[in-house]
Structure 1
Amino acid sequence: MVFLAGFVDSIGGGGGLISLPAYLFAGLPPHTALATNKLSSSIGTTISAVRLFRYMDLPLAGACVLCSLIGSSLGSNLALLASDQLIRYMLLPVLPIVAYYVLRKKELNSHEKEPLSRGNTFLVSMPASFLVGMYDGFYGPGTGTFLILLYTGLARIDLLTASANTKAVNLASNIGALTVFLLNGKVFFALGLPAAACCIAGNYLGSGMVVKNGSRIVRPIILFVLTVLFFKVLWGK
């Protein structure tokens, strides 16, 4: 299950939709499941980030990484205090809108519109990274999907660069949340470390498919993730 989660996450994000229920099914308490998932996903996402490193816009990725790290640390601290009901209610109206946006676009590439100026690209990408990073620390599933959509749709970054930057930013949000959970003793290493090995394999295979197939594979994976996440939120499971 965690191998599949890593594979899906490396392509279009949303691997947490698979891995989080798997950890809960294994009998882990919710906060421990969330924390352990951050351990395995952090290690797996590192592989994707390394494979896609040469396609990153490094100055932009660096700025977004910092924003994501701060947001994730804040979100994970809130997660230790709050129920996930609030984020579920917030997602219900958002997910159908995002899915409609993806369906309308023939491709997830930014060449359909004029690119933003360099400064505006930073102004759009950095707040988006902070907010999605905060969401990742608090709840998590679909983080990579949301980042790709925001980077290609609002910041008008090309898909390959957006996918590559997403891996760096998602890794930062994972590390930020993982650090908070480690300090609070929530990570279950006996399960998280073996699962991380499976996640590494899935991320390695999936990130290679992103480079070769681009939007032909990213778009359907994103739609699948959004659909599953919507029904998961709707029924609260």
Structure 2
Amino acid sequence: MPMLEFATDPLVLAALMAVAFLAGFIDAIAGGGGLLTLPALLTAGLPPHLVLGTNKLCATFGSATASFTFYRRKLFDPRQWRFALVATAIGAALGAGLTHLIPAQWLNQLLPLVVFACGLYLLFGRVPVTPRAHAAPIANGRQWPQGLMLGFYDGVAGPGTGAFWTVSNMLLYPLDLLRASGVARSMNFISNGMALAVFIVSGQVAWALGIGMGFALMIGAYLGARTAIQGGSKFIRPIFLVVVLVLSLRLAWQHWVGTA
């Protein structure tokens, strides 16, 4: 069984933990860490449903750490985002439930395409620039459709969700990049946790591998969040673009050129 095999292979586990550390660091700063962990797990040979469940387990570790770090620095106020929190949880549960109805063969073909398309969007999309307006009110009505759609996407697949949250936050609300990233990490934690619960119920989680990668993600996410907070928006912007460029090129080679 793949879960047991990878849990007892120290070389594979060490390699995937190293990938998870890097993904956690990247995700805490700019989002898109799933663009690295999903292909790594697929390359390691796990079935696609098990890949999604295991990825949610390790991603929950990282997003929880990053979210708590931003919260402690007062860069996220749950009271302002209560509608988005509820909507994200509902959307993620629905998305994860739908995933179990998709045949494994379709997921094997779909996931690399989703990751690649996400990389292209992040590569060519522009991060909006908004003025700092910390005291401005946050619109409640926009939080429902935003949370439902992004939560649903994270439940179905997930790569790039943090980056999509960051960009949409800056488009919809008076937030700078740093505070938009804080909201994104918190919403990502909610959708990861809710989707993980669905995968646990269906038995699609490789626990030993997911926990090992989860601890590596926690360390990377903690260092990434602190680095982002200390460096501010001017630091996040170039990291965001460089990460997207590298990951997009890697995925294009692996899933399109490499399999030709």
Q: Same fold (TM over 0.5)?
A: yes
19 and 101 in structure 1: CA distance in 2 versus 1, 3 angstrom threshold? closer
Counterpart selection for 2:84 from 64, 68, 74 = 64
Instruction: Tell me the equivalent position of 1:75.
Output: 95
Q: 1:123 to 1:115 in 2, by over 3 A?
A: farther
8 Å Cα contact 2:92/2:194 also seen in 1? yes
Q: Which of the numbers 4, 7, 10 marks the counterpart of 2:28?
A: 10
The offset of 1:74, in angstroms, is 0.8
Partner of 1:146 in structure 2?
A: 164
Quick one: distance in 2 between partners of 1:16 and 1:221?
16
Of the candidates 182, 196, 200, which is equivalent to residue 218 of structure 2? Answer: 200
Look up the match of 1:52: 70
Is residue 110 from structure 1 mapped to residue 130 from structure 2 by the alignment? Answer: yes
The structure-2 alpha-carbon separation of the partners of 1:233 and 1:34, relative to structure 1 and needing over 3 Å to count, comes to farther
Distance, in Å, in 1 between the alignment partners of 2:63 and 2:204 is 20
AA matched with 1:71: G
Q: Residue 208 of structure 1: CA displacement? A: 0.4
Question: Structure 1 pair 211/181, CA: closer, same or farther in 2 (3 Å)?
Answer: same
TM-score by length of 1: 0.84
CA distance in 2, matches of 1:11, 1:148: 10
Change (3 A) 1:156 1:100: farther
Letter in 2 for 1:126: W
Match of 1:172 among 169, 180, 190: 190
Q: What residue identity is the alignment partner of 1:130?
A: L
- Gapped runs of 5+ residues in structure 1? none
Greater Rg, structure 1 or structure 2?
2
- Partner in structure 2 of residue 210 of structure 1: 228
Question: Structure 2-normalised TM-score?
Answer: 0.78
Output the amino acid matched with 1:65: L
Work out whether residues 20 and 34 of structure 1, in 8 Å CA contact, stay in contact via their aligned partners in 2.
Answer: yes
The correspondence of residues 15-30 of structure 1 with structure 2, limited to 5 A, is 15-30=33-48
Query: Any conservation in 2 of the 1:116–1:155 contact (CA below 8 Å)?
Result: no
Distance 1:61 1:122, change over 3 A: same
Equivalent-residue separation in structure 1 for 2:60 and 2:233 (angstroms): 24
Aligned residues: 231
For residues 134 and 51 of structure 1, what CA distance do their matches in structure 2 show? 25
